[in-house]
Chain A
């Protein structure tokens, strides 16, 4: 696979010639009655009865006859030669069936390496060298998971330790080469740029004010409560591979398996059952999956592989790891004008990020944020280090979190430097609502927005003026209180085929709807819920479009034998893509239904109008056929010149991405004795366009906020200088509980997407993207008067304590 090198970002999206102006409201309006439960209804989730009764079916619940278990021997070194793997003692244990090594995979057809989603390669099992701590070294197959674990302890691997390179800045010196297998003898993987350097230099030359900061966004881990796992079941007689796996993108994974293994794609069935949280961690293919599938091929038996938590925390599902140097410019009046960013992306041993192929740094160039900058110069370098591959999203649309954190921190620093109120400063600098659709200086065409409305609302909800007054009073008494704002612009719904693909497969998504004769329906989609509530929201979309009660629509995803091809669920793309496809497929069905209704009512199609769940004759609503009646007719009494049946499929290629936004305000109190941070209040005003199910949207936002709080205050994957992961359990990788998570206060504005079929934008990740800078800004706001300009996340009490003591505050 070729290295991605020296690339600059190109966008094909254009400002529409006749842009649609959209209004901002803040009330959800349901057009359908409760019986139909279309868009806007707070419908209880259809999937919940199984989960609340313990009847969900996750991959570890799958038990097949004759199933064997796989466990993995992992490297204790971050970099070492493998001198010998002695599995003889392990093989002597009763119940041990096989030990699979890199040599075995090589012999099986060069399966010891696999391609990554970014067209790089990654070792599956190593032959001569381990490249990161906890790397898979070999796999044990046994009749029982306890025996497999025993056998792993008996495998003796003889290593010759090598010096690892852990810091990407050191790695760039190329004194230690991470990937000797590569043609290019360098740790520098790629260089990528966006914006216009010359124009940016010119803007900075004119600038009256420039602020500069180094911002590190550390490696974190999605840590879904369910780890990764697979049950692979190779049926020799049928030459058929059935795979249950924790996959956010089952179709894409099927294609990857077909290409890697050489098995015909129609002989591979991937079933993604209920998933216990994904957050991007279940997008890539990990070595364990490949070995598990190979083990089934070799043994002819079903094989189950389920990661332990510590394996999960040490070997896969890592995100972020961006080392940023940013400069922001403003003119004399405090108008923001330019942004210059240099970033090192620590890839680990492979560029295995889960980004669209042409975007090695994801959608990072959205980093001009909510501000109409004149120019920006964004440079990113990808670097190999002796760490596991990273780059999954962590509930984020491809590096948008990094972008938003950087710009919202920089804007806050500028506001403070200019002695301007951060809210007033933002309001004075936002892209105005009449500027949409807005083309940013890095090439994005923002579809719609009303940033001032969202911030205004948040300020009212939290009584911003009152808080500033309180802060001044407290400061006079030596008490530390801070107020932080984040006014973020998200970019989700990848994406338009012209720019977006994964391994060449365009990032459309799909829906197929079949209406049964009795007026019930099944809908199958190319995405895959991991808790987002697709079984409910897709049913509501179809209910909205066809008038079928949402309860009458069965939604299925995740089985590649039955669902239409799709790219899966991540990056808040399900509603923008598959949701749109569901609406478009429903509209195709409605078009056919109209013909049937015209036939039944013996009128012309032009005489009919649609009313919630029926076609009625214009001016004579008594003459009508409901969708159920039409469905029955589609199988029993359809027009002679029309095919029977009532179904449709749609592969939706979005014309543009969608750009959700919001303004968050956080209030913190800081204990000057201990550095403890108390998030007293947090108001989140989100605008995700039109809302399908307010209950689910609230849940997505609250959950996303806690996953934004987590990296802001708690979570970090820490390596020592030898590449040893020091945060290998949940005891050291700190996930917030209900005690650390504040009571979130939500508000909303609604600015529909002008190009999406029903004006929705996607919501699951906005809060994860928007929350960290609001929290960081609040903490720095509490400390600014002492001389503190910036603190890197996670902002721990230890860091705050250090800052306090350095600036002379002592309890």
Chain B
């Protein structure tokens, strides 16, 4: 499945790029995260996704490649769980256009396992919905960040390829969305963290419940300072949800 599109943020390039690479927020806001550890250059995580009627544990791995400062990067997401897997490669490009910033993405998404065989009807819809919501959420987020005017850690991932632990949704459509959302929202922070911290990040404090995300990421973002990562996770969760609902009898 291929997903591509673009989004225009009402924020300058620097704000967007910094927003995309804020490690602190990332670590703090992983919803449902039960475990997050660094293994060398890789971050491995486990997330327990609960969305509506759906629930599932997933192991995730994220790698950021070809990071070009304030320009582009590639995110490779690999998430697996008992219900299936999601793999996605997303190319993200940002470009300042005066007061606004344009983000272009294209991604190749593969969802497999039970989720895909049962939830075929939701693969495309949930992926698209997730991407849309995550970008809108990110936009809100960036506006909130800008408003707070807090100093943001400089994001300059030097590592060629850094893996980030992330809860990767294993649901249909989730992958694409996840990839894009992650790519759009979270990449740099992780890279920065990996480089700067050099030690495993502390276990994440309890994150907002996925239910809240489910209710609508966009609605909530502004007031609660959701990080991009959070959004990504929410997106993933949503994707899962979609998958879960699967193609079943209605009623």
Contact = CB atoms under 8 A, between A and B. Distances in A.
- Note whether A and B contact each other (Cβ less than 8 A): yes
Interface in A316-336: none
Interface stretch (A1-9, A608-616, A724-732): A724-732
A133 interface: yes
A240 B120 CA distance: 45
A731 B247 contact: yes
A134 B120 CA distance: 16
Contact of A153 (B82, B84, B110, B121): B82
B120 A727 contact: yes
A9 B94 CA distance: 63
A729 B112 contact: no
Nearest to A154: B82
A133 B111 CA distance: 12
B213 interface: no
B248 A731 contact: yes
Given A161-B87, A729-B247, A76 B118 contact: no
A164 to B, nearest CB: 10
Contacts of A76: 80, 84-85, 112-114
Interface of A: 76-78, 133-134, 153, 161, 310, 314, 720, 722, 724-729, 731-732
A420 to B, nearest CB: 43
Q: Which of A78, A134, A161 has the most CB of B within 10 A?
A: A161
Interface string B94-131: 00000000000000001111101110110000000000
B112 A732 contact: no
Contact of B117 (A77, A153, A314): A314
Given A76-B85, A153-B82, A728 B118 contact: yes
Interface of B: 1, 80, 82, 84-85, 87, 110-114, 116-118, 120-121, 247-249
A729 B249 contact: no
13 contacts: A133-B117, A134-B117, A310-B117, A722-B112, A724-B110, A724-B111, A727-B120, A728-B118, A729-B247, A731-B247, A731-B248, A732-B121, A732-B247
Contacts of B116: 720, 724, 726
Contacts of B117: 133-134, 310, 314, 724-729
B114 to A, nearest CB: 7
Query: Which are the 8 A-B pairs with shortest beta-carbon distances?
Result: A728-B117, A76-B113, A726-B120, A731-B247, A153-B82, A76-B112, A724-B112, A724-B116
Contacts of A161: 87
Contacts of B1: 720
Contact of B112 (A133, A153, A727, A731): A133
A430 B143 CA distance: 78
Given A77-B85, A726-B116, 6 more contacts: A76-B80, A76-B114, A724-B112, A724-B113, A727-B117, A729-B117
The prevalent SS among residues of B at the interface is: mixed
A314 B112 CA distance: 13
Contacts of A727: 117, 120
Contacts of B113: 76, 724
Contacts of B248: 731
A717 B113 CA distance: 16
B94 to A, nearest CB: 29
Contacts of B110: 720, 722, 724
Nearest to B248: A731
Nearest to A313: B117
Contacts of A314: 117
A77 B112 contact: yes
A728 B113 CA distance: 10
A726 B110 CA distance: 12
Contacts of B82: 153
B6 to A, nearest CB: 25
B167 to A, nearest CB: 17
Contacts of A134: 117
A26 to B, nearest CB: 45
A77 B114 CA distance: 11
Q: Which of A78, A153, A729 has the most CB of B within 10 A?
A: A729
A153 B81 CA distance: 9
Contacts of B87: 161
Nearest to B78: A161
A729 B118 contact: yes
A310 B249 CA distance: 15
A312 to B, nearest CB: 12
A724 B86 CA distance: 12
A474 B181 CA distance: 54
Contacts of A153: 82
A729 B118 CA distance: 6
A638 B114 CA distance: 68
A310 B112 contact: no
A278 to B, nearest CB: 24
Contacts of A726: 116-117, 120
A724 B112 CA distance: 6
Nearest to B117: A728
A133 B117 CA distance: 10
A133 B84 CA distance: 11
Contacts of A732: 120-121, 247
A722 B116 CA distance: 11
Contacts of A722: 110, 112
